[in-house]
Structure 1
Amino acid sequence: MYRVESTDLNWRLLAKRQWPLALSLTGIVIAEAGALSGLGWWQVPGVLVICAIAVLAPRRPFDAALALAFAIVCVALSLRFLGVAIEPHFFISGANVSMTGAAMATISVLVREDTRWRAMVGTALVMAAMATTEVLGWPIVAPVEYRDWAPDPTSYLFGATLLLILSVGSGLYFRARDNERASQLAASVAAAQNAERMALARELHDVVAHYVTAIVVHAQAGQLSRETAEQVLPTIEASGYEALTAMRRLVGTLRDGESSGPAASSSLVDDVRALATESGLPVRLSFDLQDAVPQELARSVLRLVQESLTNTQKHASAVSSVDVALTSSEGALRLSITDDGVASGVPVGGSGGYGLVGMRERVELLGGTFSAGRREPTGWTVRAELPLA
C-alpha cells in the first residue's frame, strides 16, 4: 500500500511532478537573459509569468491555457508598444525558447488531463497567441526593404507544426498511460472484491447456514406439541445468537480471514499496546473508552491499527512519533493514527497494494466512516469512526 489521495493535486505532489519543468525553464530564462540588451529586459517579467503558468498548469489545465494565451499576447503587445522584439528570437521574431517551451508544456498537460473539446479549444488559443506574437514582432526585426510586407507564415509553419505534434503527442501518450494504470487498478480491485465475495459465500454456507438450519429444524419440531416447543425454544434462541455472532464476525473479517489479522483478546487496550510494541515505532497511545467494545469490532479496530503502522514502517522515513488515539462516546468508537514521517516516494506506475481500499471497505461494511490523507507539514493521518451497536 502506498500513500495516495483521491483529492486534487496538492502543492507537494505538484512540486514532485513539475520540478524538472521548473528547473529547465529557469535555466533557459537565465541563459536567454544573457543575450538581452536595452529595452529587451522588459520581456523578463512577462516571460517569468508565462513559465510560472506552465509549471502550475496541472492544477487547472484549461484555465492555465487561457491565462498562458493572454500572457503571451500581453508580452507581445507591450514589446510592440516599446518598439522592441523578443530576444533571442526562436521563430521569426515573436517568441523565444522559454515561451515556446512553456506553451508546449501547457498544451501537453491540457491534452493529458482535460476533456477533448476543452483540450482542442485551449490548444487553439495558445497557438493563436503564439502566432499573434509573430505578427506583432515581424515589423520590428524584419529588414527595411521587407517591412511593408505581411509576415510569411510558411517561414515558421514547419517548425511550429512539429512542436505542436510533439506537445499533443506527449499529452496523448501520458493520457493513455494514465488510463491504462486506472484500468489495471480497477481490474485488480474488482478481482480482489470477487475473491472476497467467494470467501463470503463459503463462510455463509459453512457457518451461518448451519445455525439457520438448526433454527428451522427445531422450529418444525416445536410445532408437533406444546411440550416440545417449550423444550426447543431455548435451543432456537441460542442458535439465533450464534448466527448473529457469526454474521458480525464475518462482516468484520470480510477483507482478511481471522488467521491473517491480529487476534483479539478480552482487552482492546492491551491488544493495541501489543501491536505498538511489535511495530518498533515510537508510538504514543491515548485511550478514553467509556463503553464496552464488542470483540468482533475490536478485531476490526486492531486490523486498522496494524495496517496503519505497517504503512508507516514501509512508506515513511524520519518518523519521530506516531500518535494512536482510541476513544468512545455516544455509541461510537473513534480511532485516529497520525505520524510525522516523510513519504519515501511513490513507485513509478503505482503500487500493487490496496491497503487503503481494504481499510475503507472494512469500515464502511461496519457502518462507519473512514478518511486518510497527508498532514502538513509532514506526515499521514488515518481516522475511522465505527458504531458500537
Structure 2
Amino acid sequence: MESPNRVWRTVVGSPGPLTFALLLLLGAEAGLRGLNTSHIGARLWQLAAVAMLCAITALASRRSFTAALVAAAALPIGSVLIRLGDVLISPPVDIKLLVTEVVAVMALIAVLVREASTSRAVIGLAVVLVGTASAWSIRPNYRKEVGGAVRVYEPAPGIAVTIGGILLVASVGLGLYLRLRDRERRRSVEAEVLAAQRSERMALARDLHDVVAHYVTTIVVHSQAAEAVLDLNPDAAREVLPVITSSGTEALAAMRTLVGTLRGSEPAGSGSADPTSDLTADIRTVTEESGLPVHLELDLVEQVPPKFERSVLRLVQESLTNSRKHAADVTRVDVSVSTREGVIHLRVADNGSGAGQAPIGGSGGYGLVGMRERVELLGGTFTAGARPGAGWEVQARIPISTFLGTPLAESRANPS
C-alpha cells in the first residue's frame, strides 16, 4: 500500500492524476447539485468556468507561475459568466463557490509553492488571492425560494475570511512540505551520485595502481639490472630486453583497457590484465613474471567466487610489486594462498632488507592503502608490516562462506 505522502506527491505533482481527480470531483458535485433539472442553463455557466479552472490547475505542475497568473484572470472572468447567467436565466445558481473550485485553487497554490522560486511563489500567491477575492465578490449570493419568496443568504465576512485563511494555510503548508521533501530527495540523490562517483574513482585508481605500477616496476627493475651488468656482461643485459619490451607492451594494453572503460567502449574489467577462470594458473603466471625468487604454496580446495578472484590476484601482484620496489637483497619470497573453512588466507613475505632503501621509481604510493580498501570492501581483514629480523609480510583474510550461501560449518553439519 502506497504511503499518503507518495499519493499526495503524485496527485499534486502530475497533470494526469490531478486532472482526473478534479474532473471526478466536478462530475460528482454537478450530479449532487441537480444538473439534470430545469436549472441546467444556469449551472452550465458555472460548470464551464470551473472546468476552465481545472484545466489551468492541471497545467500548474509544468508552469506553476504562469498557471497562477492565468487562474487569477480566469477566476473573475468565470464569475462574470456566472453573473451573466444569473441575470439571463432564472432561477440563479445556488452557491458562491463550488467545492471543486476550492480544491482546484488549493492544489494550484500547493503546486506553486512547491515548484516556483520563493519570489515567484510569493507574487503568484498574491495574484491568486486577489483573483479569488474578486471572483467571490462578483458572484451572486446564495438564494433560495421559501414560500414563494426568494431569500438571499449573504455569508458572514468573518466566517468566510476564517475558512479561507484555514484553507490557505493548509495549501501553503502542503506546498512547503512537498518542497522540503523534494529538496531532501535531491540532496539524497546527489549524495548517492557523489558516493558512486567516488567509488568508481577509487576502483579505477586501484586498478591503475595494481596493473600499471606492476609492469612499470618490472621495467625499472630490469632496466637497472641491465645497466648494472652492461659493461661486464653485455649478453646478460641483452637477455633482459625482451622482458622490458613485454612489460611495456602489457602496460600499454592495460592503459588502453582503463581508457576504454572510462570512455564506455569496453566493459569494466576487460583486457589482458584481468584474471581468467583459473585462479591457480593466474597466480602462477604473476609470480613467474615478477622476477623474484618466489616459493609458491597454493591450496585452493574450496570454490573461490569470481568476484573474489580478481582481488586475490591483485593482492598477490601488488605485494610482489612492493617487494621489488622497496626491498633489497631479496633471496626468497613466500607466497601462500589457501582456502579453509570458508575463508581465503593470503600471505606474501620476503626476507629483503628495506632499511634505508629508496623505493624504486620514486616515493611510495598508495599500494598498501589500495590493498587494505580492497580487502575491507569484501569484509576481510588486512595486515602489513616488517617481519622480525628482516623482511616484510602481508596477510589478508577474506570470508567467502557468506557469499556462497550457507556458512561452511552449517553446510557440513547438514549435508545434502
Unaligned runs of at least 5 residues, structure 1: 1-8, 266-389
Tell me the secondary structure at the aligned position of residue 139 of structure 2. Answer: helix
The answer to whether the 8 A contact 2:76-2:138 is kept is no
One-letter identity of the residue aligned with 2:177: Y
The structure with more radius of gyration? 2
Distance 1:177 1:223, change over 3 A: same
Kindly state the Cα deviation for residue 78 of structure 1 after the two structures are TM-superposed: 2.6
Instruction: Tell me the amino acid that sits aligned with residue 245 of structure 1.
Output: A
Is 2:249 aligned against 1:248? no
- Counterpart of 2:106, as a letter, is M
Compared CA separation, residues 195 and 18, structure 1 to 2 (3 A): farther
Cα-to-partner distance string for 1:322-360 (whole Å, 9 max, x where unaligned)? xxxxxxxxxxxxxxxxxxxxxxxxxxxxxxxxxxxxxxx
Instruction: Name the counterpart of 2:83.
Output: 80
For 1:63, the aligned partner's letter is T
Aligned to 1:172, which of 170, 173, 176? 176
Instruction: Encode CA deviations 1:50-94: one digit per residue, 9 max, x unaligned.
Output: 1111122211111111111111111112333454598442xxx3x
> Measured at CA, do residues 125 and 29 of structure 1 come closer, stay the same or move farther in structure 2, by a change above 3 Å?
farther
User: What TM-score, normalized to structure 1?
Assistant: 0.53
Per the TM alignment, residue 264 of structure 1 is displaced from its structure 2 partner at its CA by 12
Who is 1:69 aligned against?
72
Q: Are residues 1:59 and 2:62 paired?
A: yes
How well do the aligned residues superpose, as a CA RMSD in angstroms? 4.0
Separation of aligned partners in 2, 1:237 and 1:69: 78
1:102 alignment counterpart = 104
Q: Deviations over 1:274-326 (max 9, x none)?
A: xxxxxxxxxxxxxxxxxxxxxxxxxxxxxxxxxxxxxxxxxxxxxxxxxxxxx
Structure 1 residue 189 and structure 2 residue 213: aligned? no
What pairs with 1:194-343 in structure 2 (closer than 5 Å)? 194-221=198-225, 225=230, 232-251=240-259, 258=269
Q: Do 2:211 and 2:254's aligned partners in 1 also have CA atoms closer than 8 Å?
A: yes
Alignment correspondent of 1:124: 126
2: CA distance between counterparts of 1:17 and 1:77?
A: 26
Q: Which has the higher contact order (CA 8 A, sep 6+)?
A: 1
CA shift for structure 1 position 156: 0.9
Question: Do the aligned partners of residues 18 and 99 (structure 1) sit closer, same or farther apart at CA in structure 2, a change above 3 Å counting?
Answer: closer
Q: Are the structure 2 counterparts of residues 234 and 183 from structure 1 closer, same or farther at C-alpha, using a change threshold of 3 Å?
A: same
Cα distance in 2, alignment partners of residues 63 and 194 from structure 1: 40
Deviation of residue 169 (structure 1)? 0.8
1:49 matched to 2:52 = yes
How many residue pairs match? The answer is 244
1:350-380 CA-partner distances (Å, limit 9, x unpaired): xxxxxxxxxxxxxxxxxxxxxxxxxxxxxxx
Give the residue type in structure 2 aligned to 1:103.
Answer: V
Residue 157 of structure 1 is aligned with which of 143, 154, 161? 161
Which residue in 2 is equivalent to 1:301?
none
- Give, in angstroms, the shift of residue 240 of structure 1: 2.5
The answer on whether the counterparts of 1:86 and 1:137 sit within 8 Å (CA) in structure 2 is no
Alpha-carbon distance in 1 for matches of 2:176, 2:186: 15
Q: Which amino acid is the alignment partner of residue 133 of structure 1?
A: A
- 2:139 aligned residue: 137
- 1-structure distance, mates of 2:251, 2:20: 57
**Identity in percent:** 41
| Compared CA separation, residues 200 and 222, structure 1 to 2 (3 A) | same
Q: 1:164, CA displacement in angstroms? A: 0.5
Aligned letter for 1:238? S
Give distance in 2, aligned partners of 1:244 and 1:18. 60
- CA displacement at 1:206 relative to structure 2: 1.8
TM norm structure 2: 0.49
Contact 2:19 2:54 in 1 (8 A): no
Instruction: Please say if residues 88 and 96 of structure 1, whose CA atoms lie closer than 8 Å, have aligned partners that are also in contact.
Output: no
**1:9-34, Cα deviation, whole Å (9 max, x unpaired):** 9xxx6425654444334433444463
Q: Quick one: structure 1 residues 27 and 53, their matched pair in 2 at CA, closer, same or farther if it must change by over 3 Å?
A: farther
Amino acid at match of 1:163: L
Greater displacement, 241-250 / 69-78: 241-250
Residue segments in structure 2 that go unaligned for 5+ positions in a row: 1-9, 277-416
Q: Deviations over 1:96-136 (max 9, x none)?
A: 21111111111111111111111111111111111001221
Change in 2 beyond 3 A, CA 1:107/1:264: farther
Q: Which residue of 2 aligns with 1:280?
A: none
Q: Check whether the contact 1:83–1:140 (CA below 8 A) recurs between aligned residues.
A: no
